[in-house]
Structures are given as C-alpha cells and as structure tokens.
Structure 1
Amino acid sequence: MPKWFVGSSKEYNFEMYSNSHLIIIAILIQGAAGIYFFRNKIKWRTAEIGTAISLMVFEITYHFWMLINGIWETSSALPLELCNISLILSILLLLTRKKIIYEFLLFTALLGATQALITPILHYDFPHFRFFHFFYTHLMIIWVPLYFTWVHGYRPTIWSVVKLFVFLNVLMPFIMLINKLVGGNYMFLSHKPTTASLLDVLGPYPWYILSMEGLLITLSLLVWLIFREKGLKTLHVVRHHVNKRTFY
C-alpha cells in the first residue's frame, strides 16, 4: 500500500498554520474571490454535476480508506458531524438546485466548515490522501453556497434562520440517541472535545449546548444580514420603474 494511503500519520504529521495549511487558506480566499468576480461567466451545469460526483467519490474513498486501515468505527465514522451533513447538503444542492437545501447549507457551511478549515482537527499533512480529502471537501462545502449565492442569485431570508434552527433541533435528539448507542460524541453533544476549543467558554455540560444554540442564532442572523436580498434597494428600483411608467 502506498505511504500516502496508510492509516498512520507518522510521516505526514500535520501542523496548524504550516505552509501547506496557509496555502489552503489562500486557495479558499482566491476561490471565493474568483466565484464572485466571474459570477456572470461560470454558470455551468456540467461542472455542478461533476463537482457533486467528485464529492461522492472522495467520501466513498474516505470510508474505504478507514475500512482497509482498520480505523472505521461507529463511534466516529458515521456522517453525523455538522461538516458531514453540510457535505451531503452540498451534493444534493448541486444535483437538485433546491432553494431550501441552500437555506440550510449557507449557514452550516459558513459557520461550520469555515471554522473547521481554519482550525482543522487533522493529523495528516500533504500529500497524504486524508489531507486532500479533508481540504477538498471543506473547500467545496464553502464554495458551493457562495456559488449559488453569487452565480444563481439565491439569497437567505429571515425565515431561513428559523428553518435552520428547526432543522438542527429536530436532528439533535436523534444524534444524541445515536451517541448513546455507539458511545460517540457527534456534534459534541455528549461532552466537550478533549482539546481546547470555543466550548470551554460556553459553560459545563449540558449547559454549553444551550449556549451553542444561542451562538448559532446570533451568527446565523449575522450571515443573513450579510447575504440577504437588499430589500430597500429592490424597493427603490421597483418604485423608480412605477414612477417612470406613471409619468409617461
């Protein structure tokens, strides 16, 4: 088996903010800028479907990699983390272009995947397979909703925040049940991570879960404010056309 596909990270120890990590962050920014500045030229249906297929291939290969290296476990390998859910939503959005999927993904991607990419919990550096899997999937999770925002003109509404809150709170008891059955800690609903994190300032278990919900609502409202359809501008344009018609 090639070294870049083995389960050990001994020869590929990842360090946060190393050269390889900084390059990925630069690619994230450049990719987002490219989507924005070329938004009128990149509405490619073939690329959307191709990206969805590539994400599925990467994820299936990732699970195959865990299996052959003996590290696939129900307590950690099920697709129940927020970034796993965002990946599934990204694939569905690319294939279906459903607005309601975008409404969930915009928030989960920008609030979850962005943090995961900037402060990754990762042990494998370039050029290991896991390095490429982790960063490719997280980059796409972020770029896909930005693409649908700037290229297709999708926008969140205040009701999008409500839908996200309901969606995650309906999902939460099921994930808590699965955590109990398999001894997992998906979405950190069983306990805080063993390493230092933002959860350390949100109170003890289980109260930090409520703190996370409050933080989620606050940050989701911020994302909505940034990406919402500018209502006053739209209303001004409509009034301008109405007045122009009345005048003539």
Structure 2
Amino acid sequence: MAHFSAIGVLCFFIILLLIIKKRWSISQKKVLLMERLFALSLLIMEILYHVWLYQTGRWNWVSSLPLELCSISLILTIILLWTGNRHIYEFVFYAGIGGALQAVATPVLDLSFPHFRYFHFFHTHFGIILTALYFTWVKGYLPTFKGIIKTMVALNILLPCIFVLNIILHGNYMFLLKKPANGSILDFLGPYPWYILSLELFAFLIFICLWLIFRKKEVSKTQLDPEYNGSKK
C-alpha cells in the first residue's frame, strides 16, 4: 500500500504539470526562486540521508557513494534546476527518467512508510522525473535524438570507471557485478554479465520511446516564420 500510494502521488504531480503547463504565468524571478528552492530540498534531503547512514552505522564505501545511476542523475538534476543547462537537461531527461521510473517501479528499500528513508527515496526519485518533465512541458526544453547518443556515450564512459571502482571497493554500484537481491527488471535480461549488454539495448529503446513521445513535432515554414510568404528570394 505504501508503494502504490507513492506511485499515486507521482501520477498526481505529473497530471498537475500537464494541467499548469499552458497556464504558467509566474514572473521569471519567482520561477528561479521556486527552481532553486526545489533544488535545495533535493540537496538537503540527500545530505540528511548520508547523515542518517552515518549515525546508524550504515555508511560505507561499498554502497554509500553517489555512484548509482539515480544518484548521479540526482546531482545533475540539482545542477539543472540551478543553471538550466540544456546539455545536462538531456541526460536528466533520458537517463534520469529511465532510471528513476525503474527504481520507483521496483524500489530497493528495507524501510517503508513512515520512516525517513521512505520519504527520501521517493522525494529524490520523483524530483528527477518531475524536473525533467517540468523543463520539457513548462520551460519548453525539447529532447533530441542527438541527446540520446550523447547520453549513451556518457553512460558508456561512466560504466567502466564505476566497474573499476566496484573492483577496488568490493561494491556493486549500478549492479555491474551482480543483480540486486530483490526483484528488478534485470531478472528478465539474462545472466551475468550478459544482462549488462541487454540493459544497454533496453536503455536505448527506452530513450527512443521517450524521444518519440516528447520530440518536437514537424511544423510548416509559415508556423516557424509568420512573415514567410512561400516565395523564394
């Protein structure tokens, strides 16, 4: 029930974004304030999470570093909210939405509502998804096919680096050494290490689907330029 309730909250905020996207009439100054306050809420929640890990003796080099895909996406989400950088937007849109949706669908949680960890998990993952949709629907940023390629390249630069760190730290960041103990989508992608290659293909297909859904629609020249009269000069 706690899991389904959280998913219901996410759906509510997505619908809310859809409703307000054409009625957005807030001054730029207030918009910047709201974006930065939300960025601070994500940052503070993440800092409190690490404080809680340390105080409860759970913090360690093996599993607590921000080297998971959603942890990296969260950091970039905070930077995006603060800077509005379009290159960061595309990574957050593709890798952030793709990773966070999978995490929300199959959360790796050993503590549920009303524990702090429950609120941290869903607030940060919802923050990634909603920020990407907010920049797309409200601010007018648009994902591109080139962005898919850039995101895949960035991920494939990250993967070997994190793989080496896993070997050094005896960790399993991004599940590059074994599958998570609880059920996940990786259970359907084959045995180790082949599920890593399957996951790359799956991620690429998810990115393609996101691009097809949100890509810029073709418009006529008259729509692009009201003064266009159809004649060649």
TM-score norm. by structure 2 comes to 0.91
1:41 aligns with 2:27: no
> In structure 1, what is the equivalent of residue 224 of structure 2?
238
* Deviation readout 1:139-173 (Å, 9 max, x if unpaired): 11110010000111000111000000100001111
1:217 aligns with 2:204: yes
4+ runs deviating over 6 angstroms: none
Distance 1:96 1:174 in 2: 26
Distance 2:215 2:20 in 1: 20
> In structure 2, what is the equivalent of residue 173 of structure 1?
160
Label 1:76 to 1:41 Cα distance change in 2 as closer, same or farther (>3 A).
same
Label 1:150 to 1:234 Cα distance change in 2 as closer, same or farther (>3 A).
farther
Please provide the CA RMSD for this pair.
1.7
Q: Structure 1 residue 71: deviation in Å?
A: 0.6
Pairing partner for 1:32 from 1, 11, 14 = 14
Any idea what SS the aligned residue of 1:181 has? Answer: helix
Q: Structure 1 residue 119: deviation in Å?
A: 1.8
Q: What is the aligned length?
A: 226
> In structure 1, what is the equivalent of residue 3 of structure 2?
21
Q: Structure 1 residue 200: deviation in Å?
A: 2.4
Pairing partner for 1:154 from 135, 141, 157 = 141
Any idea what SS the aligned residue of 1:101 has? Answer: helix
> In structure 2, what is the equivalent of residue 72 of structure 1?
59
1:141 aligns with 2:124: no
Label 1:42 to 1:182 Cα distance change in 2 as closer, same or farther (>3 A).
farther
Q: Structure 1 residue 92: deviation in Å?
A: 0.5
* Deviation readout 1:12-67 (Å, 9 max, x if unpaired): xxxxxx1x222211111110111121123265111100011111111111000000
> In structure 2, what is the equivalent of residue 198 of structure 1?
185
Contact 1:42 1:151 in 2 (8 A): no
AA matched with 1:41 = W
Identity of aligned residues (%): 45
TM-score norm. by structure 1 comes to 0.86
Distance 1:140 1:111 in 2: 13
Matches within 5 A, 1:39-188: 39=21, 40-41=23-24, 44-188=31-175
Q: Structure 1 residue 234: deviation in Å?
A: 5.1
Q: Structure 1 residue 205: deviation in Å?
A: 1.7
Distance 1:234 1:193 in 2: 49
AA matched with 1:66 = L
Contact 2:106 2:184 in 1 (8 A): no
AA matched with 1:89 = L
Any idea what SS the aligned residue of 1:242 has? Answer: coil
Distance 1:98 1:167 in 2: 16
AA matched with 1:243 = N
